[in-house]
Amino acid sequence: MNGLGRALPAVLLLVFAVLGSVLPGWLVFVLTLALAKGLVVLAVVVLMRAGLVSFGHGLFFAGAAYAAGFATRAWEVKEALLLILLGVAVAVALGAVFGLLAARYREIFFAMLSLAFSMVLYGVLIKAYTLTGGSDGLRIPVPTILGVVPQLEQARLAIYYVALAAVAVAVALIRRYSAAPLGYLMQAVRDNEVRVGYLGASVNRAIYLTYVLSAALGGLGGVLVALNVGHIDPNLAYWTTSGEFVFIALLGGTEGVLAPLAGAIVYELFKSYAFKYAPYAWQMMMGGIMLAIILFLPGGLWAPIERALRRTR
């Protein structure tokens, strides 16, 4: 990677840090939502680079969000950083358990199995009304930030910067993973799994470790969405939510670590404006955009930028 490519994340981080202090509150809320969902999309893309498409990341997204919700109600934990750590830990635990089975399957079987996991959680969340609030969900109070109790608007701005910091850590982590032997091994698995096995590498172990890593990112995004919105409900685990992450992955593209985040920001901004001006037609408009992306930018919105960065080497 050239110097411009290495510096781009730091430049974007600085730009978004400044934007947080000048944009109106509603736009900061939308951007926080986009950054949090971008982390889940990044988790989906990590698996897609290995040739695995997950339609079930709502499992980790909702699991981490509900873990934070339960912690605030049962143990009165209000510190945002503790809730984030707890949510990620629960997501990792879910990934470690379900990954034992998921790592054995490929292609459509992997996709359907991951979908089944998330739908099982959705069913549990809907039926366990006394614990989860059923379809009404649970309210999450405004968290404290490093022990400070902020007002609502200050809390939203603080969560925005927490989400920005989480994205910076995640981008650095995934870049390191991509340049590590495990990252290269997963690309080799996508190209020719049989040959990788003949070379002596454990394909299932590599997929399992990547699945757990992906679960952690998905959980991180789930907790941040829960803290930002202040409410959680079973739809976080529904199949349409998981499908939305795959949609955004295709919209942004899978080239580069920043592509999923760019896709998530474009998606959330377009969705907000389209829902305001065309509430009954925004899904159709989104479908038209995806059709145009497939026909004219098959690599996603970020692909031309990634190619331009490569040409500057």
User: Tokens 């529904």, residue?
Assistant: 238
Q: For the stretch 65-84, what's the b/e string if a residue is b when 16 or more beta carbons lie within 10 angstroms of its beta carbon?
A: bbbbbbbbeeeebbbbeebb
User: Which pLDDT belongs to residue 2?
Assistant: 59
Any idea how long the chain is?
A: 313
The predicted-structure confidence for 121-165, as pLDDT tens digits, reads as follows 999 999 988 888 888 888 888 888 887 777 777 888 889 999 999
**How far apart, in whole angstroms, are the C-alpha atoms of residue 118 and residue 65?**
13
Which parts of the chain register pLDDT below 70?
1-5, 312-313
- Confidence (pTM): 0.91
Q: Which of 282, 232, 241, 205 is nearest to 56 (CA)?
A: 241
User: Which pLDDT belongs to residue 223?
Assistant: 94
The answer to whether 40 and 167 are in contact (CB under 8 A) is no
